[in-house]
Structure 1
Amino acid sequence: MTTVMAQGTFDILHPGHLHYLQKSAQLGDKLVVIISRDSRVKEKKGLHFNEEERREMVQALKPVDQAVLGSEGDIYTTVKETDPDIITLGYDQKHDEKEVQKMAEKATGHKVQVKRISGLENYSSSNIRN
């Protein structure tokens, strides 16, 4: 079974999020979505929904097999617990693919692919919020 891990804040759900999650789900057998904790979101004051509300909304989406809250500490812990074969990044996530891959492989002890999902770049929570 191929486990795909996607992650994000998912405060204001929009078609860009759905596209990201649908494309991520197509890459494997199980899609686990990590929801950013309130304590780790830099734009905390701008959040419309708390972490549990955001997790529940994402869990209700058809492509999602499991939505869980991320670690209060670091992403390393979350990756180790999720043990993904593939990690997907959204077009606007600033993470470097090679660095994520190196960290994930160290956390899991096996090869992890990192794939950036593009498409629907016109949608962004920041733009909608503004």
Structure 2
Amino acid sequence: MRRVVATGTFDILHPGHLFYLEESRKLGDELWVVVARERNVVHKPRPIIPEEQRLKMIAGLRCVDHAMLGDREDMFRPIAEIDPEVVTLGFNQKFSEERLVSQMRERGIRADVVRIGPFCGCAFNSSTKIIEEALKRRGAK
């Protein structure tokens, strides 16, 4: 059984997320998704959607076999427990593949890291674009 782990915030679910997860699923037999905890999202604005709701949405996708919230203290703990062959990154996730591989090796995690390319099939392929358009359409300044 070839396990793949995908991670992310998945704030406002959109076609870009679905593309990332479907492409990740193609790399193995089983897709595990680790949804970021609100308190651990420090590299961008805090999620709008609560973590339990984001988890439920991800778990409901056909391409996802298992979904879980990330660890509050150690982002590598769920990955070590799942013991995947592949960890995927979205095209805009702010990780260096080389550094991530090095950090995982230090923890005894032997997974390959694969970056999934961008989804360009529609205008609303990011949470930021959706939020900006919603504010524009609703007249917010």
TM over 0.5: yes
In the alignment, which residue of structure 2 is the partner of 1:70? 70
Seq. identity, %: 40
Q: Structure 2 stretches of 5 or more lacking a match?
A: 133-141
The residue aligned with 2:131 is 129
Q: 2: CA distance between counterparts of 1:71 and 1:2? A: 23
Secondary structure of 1:128's partner?
helix
> What's the counterpart of residue 106 of structure 2?
106
CA displacement at 1:110 relative to structure 2: 5.0
| Separation of aligned partners in 2, 1:64 and 1:84 | 14
| 1:77-96 correspondence to structure 2 within 5 Å | 77-96=77-96
Relative to structure 1, the CA distance from residue 100 to residue 83 in structure 2 (aligned partners, 3 Å threshold; closer, same or farther) is same
Deviation at 1:127, TM superposition (A): 1.8
| Normalised TM-score (structure 1) | 0.90
Please identify, of 98-107 and 56-65, the stretch whose mean Cα deviation from structure 2 is larger: 98-107
2:53 corresponds to: 53
Q: Is the 8 A contact 2:4 2:30 kept in 1?
A: yes
Cα shift at 1:52: 0.7
> RMSD across aligned C-alpha pairs, in angstroms?
1.4
Q: Distance in 2 between matches of 1:25 and 1:106?
A: 26
SS of the aligned residue for 1:75 comes to coil
Q: Judge conservation of contact 2:11–2:127 (CA < 8 Å) in 1.
A: yes
Q: What TM-score, normalized by structure 2, do the two folds share? A: 0.84
Q: Distance in 2 between matches of 1:79 and 1:106?
A: 13
Structure 1 residue runs of 4 or more that deviate by more than 4 Å after TM superposition: none
Question: Shift of the alpha carbon at 1:67?
Answer: 0.6
